Amino acid sequence: MITTAEPLPHLHVSGAGSTDTGQRRRLNEDRFAVRDDLLTYLVCDGAGGHNAGEVAAALAARSIINYLAATSTEANDLPEFDRFGIPNGARRLSAAVHKANRDISEISRTSHQHRGMGTTVVAIAFTPRSGLMHIAHVGDSRCYRLRSRHLELLTQDHSLLTDVLEYRPDLDDTKLDRIPRNIITRALGVSDELRVSVRSHPVVSGDRYLLCSDGLSGPVPTPFMAELLKLDESAELVAKHLVLAANAAGGPDNISAVVVDCSTGPDTALPFGPTEPPPPPNSDSNDDPELLIVGSEEIELDDHSSDAFIRALTEVYGRK
């Protein structure tokens, strides 16, 4: 017998951020946003010649926030999950990042001064109705979660080192040592086509989240970051402590930290999903394979579906 789920406890989150140029940079090209009213928080780490990195980071932060603010009323009318079981909050956050990418790419194309600029981003948004936190990230800016005094990394860097290890996990360490650590493989503003990594997690009362640029995660050891995040102090003070720690470690890059606290919410993390299962695929045949792997076999579709399928593959993979 299926029963109606009890309403989730009220979810309350608030955050604060801090940023600094660091010890070796002339300009601060990091930007962050703290919007308790939108339950949205982000960090951007810009790069590019002629000081254009700060322009890209500022534009990304502004574009994402503006998109989420403009679509907030519409979002409230949507169900928590779409017909495929995907959280609408996650799709909306990803759409905001894609919009920012298009905005940066357009300026980069049309302005010689800003040509080649780009930025990383890590953004989180909370949806109280489902008790979920959504993460969208591009590049090597990170999101950590402190839960029950245990710190875990919730994002994976889009870096050359990560890509190499995915292809060649058996590569000799001496060769891995020669791979530059500061090369990222995804960034906003590089191309109109962008892959945004998106994940959703259930929120638990007492969670503390950290968004940061690599100016913090690089020089400051993770155990020390964890100790600072465990401090019984406000998000604002902890963010400042983290920035000070990065500067004390040499401050090799711009530093940004945004700390977000969940003061009330569910006591435990429960599996999430829609109350109804997603619809079955549109097929009248019982002979269809349970799983299709792209490139492993021919896929027979009618003319109309075939055209749409090929267009989709072209858009995703860039193949013709």
Q: What is the mean pLDDT of the chain?
A: 87
Stretch (H or E) spanning 41? strand 40-47
Who wins on pLDDT, 42 or 113?
42
Q: How far apart are CA 76 and CA 156, in angstroms?
A: 30
Average pLDDT over residues 270-289: 62
Q: Which residues pair with 136 in a beta bridge?
A: 123, 198
Exposure of 12 in the CB half-sphere (CA atoms within 13 A): 3
Residue 84 binned pLDDT confidence (cut-offs 50, 70, 90) = confident
Between residues 315 and 170, which one has the greater pLDDT? 170
CA distance 112 to 141: 27
Q: What is residue 51's predicted lDDT score, i.e. its pLDDT?
A: 66
| Type of residue found at 146 | L
29 contacts 53 by C-beta, under 8 angstroms: yes
Asked if 30 contacts 16 with a C-beta cutoff of 8 angstroms, the reply is: no
Report how far apart, in Å, the C-alpha atoms of 15 and of each of 92, 146, 172, 238 are.
21, 14, 42, 11
**For the domain bounded by 12-269, which CATH number is listed?**
3.60.40.10
The domain segmentation of the chain, as residue ranges, is: 12-269
Alpha carbons 150 and 129: distance in angstroms, whole number: 26
Using one digit for the tens of pLDDT, what is the confidence trace for 37-48? Answer: 999 999 999 997
Look at phi and psi of residue 308 and say left if phi exceeds 0, alpha if psi is from -120 to 50, else beta.
alpha
- Which pLDDT band, with edges at 50, 70 and 90, does 222 fall under? very high
| Res. 283: pLDDT tops 50 | yes
Q: Is the per-residue pLDDT at 308 higher than 50?
A: yes
Q: What percent of the chain has pLDDT over 70?
A: 81
Distance CA 275, CA 77 (A): 17
pLDDT of residue 111: 78
With beta carbons less than 8 A apart as the criterion, state whether 15 and 40 touch: no
The tens digit of pLDDT for each residue in 7-24 reads 567 889 999 999 999 999
Strand 150-153 and strand 30-35: the pairing is unpaired
